[in-house]
Chains A and B, each alone.
Chain A
Amino acid sequence: MNHQYIDSLIDLGNKDSRIIAVDSDLGTSARTPQFKERFPNRYINCGIAEQNMVGVASGLAYEGNVPFAHSIASFMMRRCYDQLYQAVAIPNLNVIVIGVYAGLNGQDGNSHQSINDIALATALPNFTVVAPANSYEVSKLISQLVDVGPTYLRLSREHIRLPLDEEYEVKLGNFSRLKKGNDLALLSTGSMVNHTLMLSDKLSEKNIDASVYSVHTLSPFDNEELNRIREDTEKIVTLEEHLVDSGLGSKVVNSLEVPTRVCKIGLKNKLLGSAPLNTLLKRAGITINENLKIIEEYLNK
C-alpha cells in the first residue's frame, strides 16, 4: 500500500503545486524519496524531530501550501500530539499527516506499535481521520483530502492487497460497501478489510450471508449509513487492528440510534512485545478461525 500511496501523492503533486512533502527521517518507509526526486523543491526533511516537523508543516499551511507530513504511525500521532492540536487543529489548517505501519508492527516491538492512533486522532478537534483498506482506496481518497482541513491518514503495511473484481465507490465521509448480504453486516477499517472479506467468504461456505463495508473514514463518521444498515439487520460486527474500545467498534456503538448488541473484534490494551506479525495477530486473537468462532457464537445468541 505504501508504494501506491507515493504514486498517488506524486500524481497529486503533478496536478497541484501547493502540495509539499515533509519528512522526519522515516521517509523511506513511505517512499517519499520518490516524491523528492520528482519535486526536489517541494520536499523537506526535518530530521528526527516530529514536533518541529508538524510546526513547519503548519507554517507552510498558513502560507497556503498543502503539506503532507510523514512518520511511522506510532510517532506521527503520539510524539507530536500537542503540536497537532495547537499548530494544526486549532487553526484548522490544510495539513495531512500520514502514519505508516499502523497497527501491530511486529518485530520492532512495543515502542513501534500503533494501536491507539485512531482513538487519538479522532479526539483532535477538526480532524478528518482516514484508514484506507488498500491501494485502490488510497488513490481514490488522496485528492479528496486536499482542502478539508486537518487530516490523519492511517496507512498499514505494504503487503495487503485487495483482490479487486471491479471498482467501487470511495467517497470521503461515506462507507464503501464491498459486498451485499442479508444476514449480518461486517464493518471493518484499514488493514482488517482484507481479513474481513476472507471471513465473509468462510461465512458464505456455511450459508451465512454477510455484507462487508470498508469504513475508510472514521471521522466524520457516516452515522446515516450506519443507522440505515441497522434497519436491515441488527447483527453488526466491527473489525479493526486497533484498541477495540476506542476505535471503530466504539464509534459504531456510540452512533447507533437504536440499542444494539454489537460484536466488536479488535485488540486489547495489552503490550504484546516483539514477534513476527503473524504471531502477534494470533496472540491478539486476530485469526480467521478465532474470528469465525466469535461471529458464529454472536449469531447464535
Chain B
Amino acid sequence: MEIERIIETAEEDRLVDKSALIRKNILHYISNAQSGHPGSSLSIVELLVTLYHKEMNIDPSKPKMDSRDRFILSKGHGVMALYCVLADKGYYSGKEIESFRQYGSLCQGHPEIGLPGIEACSGSLGQGLSIASGMALNSKIRHASYRVFVLMGDGEINEGQIWEAASFASKYKLDNLVGIVDRNRMQHDGFCDEIMPFDSIKDKFESFGWSVYSCDGHSYRSICATFKDIRLDESDKPKILVADTVKGKGVKAYENTLKSHSVFGNINEDVLSSLYVVRGGNND
C-alpha cells in the first residue's frame, strides 16, 4: 500500500543527503573523542532530522523562545546524533563537537543544558518521559501551546519510571506530548527479545491510555506521514510513535551489532568505509 506522498521527492532527497552528512559527522566526532555510542546515535538520525527540519516549531537563533516545541533525548547516550543535528541546523558551530567528552566541553558525554538546543540533562535511563510530562503539563497550567517530543530507547522502557510517567501523562491528558520509541530491538547486553521482551510496545502504551502509532524509522515518507496523522489526532491522549529502526543504521559493519553500542579508541577504517547512504528506509 502506497503511503500518501507527504513530501516531494526532491525534499526527500535533500533529507536523505542530510542524513548521510549527519552519519559521517557522528562517526567523525566519536572517533575524534575516542569514545561514544555510535550504534544508538545512528538509529535515530532520520527521526531527529524530521523533528528539526520538518516537524518542530523551532528557531535556532532563538533557542529559548517561549513558544518553541521542546525535544528531550531520554536515551541520552544517543546524544552524538543530537549534537550533529543541532549544529547542522545552526544552533552552534560544529567546532563545539570537537571537544566532545573533553573536560569543560559543552558537548558532555550525555546531554546537559548549557549547550543551545539542549532542553534537559539526561543519561540515566527512564527519566525523560517524566521530565517531558512536567514540561507538557506546564503548558496546560500556563495556557501555552507548545508540544513536547521525547525520544526513548526500547531497552530504556524496561525502566518502571517510564510506566509511572505513562499513567501520569494519560491522567493529565497531556495531548501535546509525543513520545517516540527508537525500536532498534537491541539493548546493551543483547537483543531486547532475549534480555527483556517487550512486545507489543504499542499495545502496552495503548492500555495506558495513549494514542499509538508506528512507522519505518528510516523512511522520511513514513515518518512524515505518521507525524501528520499525529498532528491531526484530536483526542486528549498523549501520543506514542514506535519507530522501527536498526541499531547502527547506515554503517554496514555496525548494523544490528552489540559492538556498535559503545566504542573506545578511534573507529577503524573497516567500519568507516562501510558507511553508506540510506535511501529506502528499512528496505534498504
The residues of A with any CB-CB pair to B shorter than 8 Å are: 20, 41-42, 44, 46-47, 49, 51-52, 54-63, 65, 82-83, 85-87, 90-91
Also in contact, A62 and B137, with CB within 8 A (given A49-B168, A55-B131, A56-B168): no
Contact A49 B164 (CB under 8 A): yes
CA distance A57 to B168 in the complex (A): 13
Give min CB distance, B229 to chain A, whole Å: 26
Contact B135 A91 (CB under 8 A): no
Give min CB distance, B116 to chain A, whole Å: 15
Q: Ordered nearest first, which 9 A-B pairs have the shortest CB separation?
A: A59-B134, A55-B130, A52-B164, A49-B164, A56-B134, A63-B138, A86-B124, A59-B135, A59-B131
Contact B165 A85 (CB under 8 A): no
What are the interface flags for B131-170 relative to A under an 8 Å C-beta threshold, 1 for contact and 0 otherwise?
1111111100110000000000000000011001101100
CA distance A59 to B70 in the complex (A): 11
Q: Using a Cβ–Cβ cut-off of 8 Å, how many residues does chain B contribute to the interface with A? A: 31
- With an 8 A cutoff between CB atoms, is B119 at the interface? yes
Contact B161 A57 (CB under 8 A): no
Q: Kindly list chain A residues whose C-beta atoms are within 8 Å of the C-beta of B124.
A: 82, 85-86
Also in contact, A62 and B161, with CB within 8 A (given A44-B137, A46-B168, A55-B130): no
CB closest residue in chain B, given A86: B124
Contact B122 A86 (CB under 8 A): yes
User: Of the candidates B113, B128, B132, B165, which one forms a contact with A91 in the assembled complex, judged by CB atoms under 8 Å apart?
Assistant: B113
CA distance A57 to B120 in the complex (A): 13
CB closest residue in chain A, given B146: A63
Also in contact, A87 and B112, with CB within 8 A (given A62-B119, A63-B134, A63-B135): no
CA distance A63 to B70 in the complex (A): 11
- With an 8 A cutoff between CB atoms, is B106 at the interface? no
Residues of B53-111 contacting chain A, CB below 8 A: none
The residues of B with any CB-CB pair to A shorter than 8 Å are: 112-113, 119-124, 126-138, 141-142, 160-161, 164-165, 167-168, 171-172
Also in contact, A55 and B133, with CB within 8 A (given A49-B164, A49-B168, A83-B161): yes
Contact A55 B122 (CB under 8 A): no
CA distance A10 to B109 in the complex (A): 41
Contact A47 B167 (CB under 8 A): yes
Also in contact, A52 and B135, with CB within 8 A (given A86-B124, A90-B112, A91-B113): no
**Most-contacted residue by chain A among B121, B133, B136 (CB, 10 A):** B121
CA distance A20 to B124 in the complex (A): 25
Task: A49-B167, A82-B127, A91-B121 are known; give 12 further A-B pairs, CB within 8 A.
Answer: A47-B164, A47-B167, A52-B161, A58-B120, A62-B120, A63-B135, A83-B130, A86-B124, A87-B120, A87-B121, A87-B127, A91-B113
Q: Kindly list chain A residues whose C-beta atoms are within 8 Å of the C-beta of B160.
A: 51
Also in contact, A55 and B167, with CB within 8 A (given A83-B127, A85-B124, A90-B121): no
Q: Kindly list chain A residues whose C-beta atoms are within 8 Å of the C-beta of B120.
A: 58-59, 62, 87, 91
**Most-contacted residue by chain A among B132, B136, B160, B168 (CB, 10 A):** B168
Give min CB distance, B2 to chain A, whole Å: 39
